[in-house]
Amino acid sequence: MSLNGEEIGGGLTVQHYVEDIAKEQHCRVISTSDVFANGNCTTAHVVWKLIAKPLSDITCEFTNVVLVHTTDDC
């Protein structure tokens, strides 16, 4: 597990990433993150994907995707 805390839009977000896929050219981590803003709290489900697609022997296409949606928990 990897923990990360950051300020986003004036609120504190604490992310709890757990590795889901760990391959040479594909990594995906998932977090149910705690979000504290304006005196309120909620959680957000985060999926972060990193993909390196080889295009030739010396080049690749790198894709970085972050998907986030709130949950009903807190």
**pLDDT value at residue 74:** 58
Average pLDDT over residues 60-71: 94
Whether 72 shows a pLDDT value over 80: the answer reads: no
Whether 47 shows a pLDDT value over 90: the answer reads: yes
* 53 touches 61 (CB < 8 A): yes
| Domain assignment of residue 45, given as a range | 2-70
Strand 60-70 relative to strand 11-23: parallel, antiparallel, unpaired? Answer: unpaired
Beta bridge partners of 74: none
Domain count, the chain: 1
